[in-house]
Structure 1
Amino acid sequence: MDRFLLLIVASLLSGCTESQTKREAEEQSSLFKMNGELLYGEKGKFGIRKLNGENDEPEFPAGKGRHYHIQFLEQSEQLEGKTYYLSALHQETGQKNDLYEVVIENGQSGAKLVFDQSGAWEVQVAVDGEPYAQFTIQAE
């Protein structure tokens, strides 16, 4: 009987740990859905999605430049005419890349971005020099 109870408790704890790990991964994920589209970024604040490339390639193919649609989702009218700057920091090597800089028009922009090596990249968004959003993508 004691073994049976121990097995039940272990199973419950394992399930809690699994669901907690899954929940933490979802919270850390930079992927969210808006108006039926999958975007990377910060939900409700900033989103980016790939516009071109092969259908079977990753969203961020390492070493290949792709065009992306960028959207400012929070208070976009207040950002109108300000300059945004994208940079990325490779999580393993510490390499920093300047990705793109342009004036915000209608709360959105197009951009050609290249992540020159595979791995996790922390993307940082600044508006007029002030930090605005930060999220992680996986270049493959």
Structure 2
Amino acid sequence: MGNRDRRWIVFLLLMVASLLSGCTESQTKREKEEQPSLFKMNGELLYGEEEKFGIRKLNGENDEPEFPAGKGRHYHIQFLNQPEQIEGKTYYLSALHQETGQQNDLYEAVIENGQSGAKLVFDQPGTWKVQVAVDDEPYAQFTIQAE
């Protein structure tokens, strides 16, 4: 086998490896977009935007989903990115049902110590895009699955 043949084989192997790598990256990106926004912080699973906003359920049944459709649950809300800058400001949560286009106002309160409690109800199952605003300015957005 000559030098030219070896270079051709190396080139082909590099092309195949590049194609496989690109498929993996696009598949991972697509999976992340389809998954609810879930991350771990201090040993707890939170929904939201990592290093910015997190929410977790505080009550309900152990075997029920994190966001049970049609049932109000209490949630702990955390503002993770420089909470001292938004201390005392009002936050507002709303959600848009991705299949029906229904918009729901979820909760409004004042931020104290970078956190809040909230009782939320997602009235129908499906994917919801949750939007967080602080003093009417967009702050975070993420998706959840109500079941």
Q: If the TM-score is normalised by the length of the shorter chain, which range does it land in?
A: 0.7 to 0.9
TM-score of the superposed pair, with normalisation by structure 2: 0.82
Runs of 4+ in 1 over 2 A off after TM superposition: 12-20, 26-29
Distance 1:24 1:92 in 2: 18
Hey, what does 1:81 align to over in structure 2?
A: 88
Of all paired residues, the percent bearing the same amino acid is 79
Report the CA distance between 1:25 and its aligned residue. 1.7
Q: Does 1:110 align with 2:106?
A: no
How many pairs align?
Answer: 132
Q: Which of the pair has more CA radius of gyration?
A: 2
1:69 paired to 2:71: no
Contact 2:79 2:114 in 1 (8 A): yes
Structure 2: gaps spanning 5 or more residues:
1-14
10, 16, 23: which one aligns with 1:17: 23
TM-score by length of 1: 0.86
Secondary structure (helix, strand or coil) at the match of 1:71 reads strand
Equivalence map 1:110-129=2 (5 Å):
110-129=117-136
Q: CA deviation at 1:29?
A: 4.0
Q: CA deviation at 1:15?
A: 8.3
Aligned pairs for 1:20-35 (under 5 A) are 20-26=26-32, 29-35=36-42
Contact kept? 2:131, 2:142, Cα under 8 Å: yes
Give the alignment's Cα RMSD to 1 decimal. Answer: 2.1
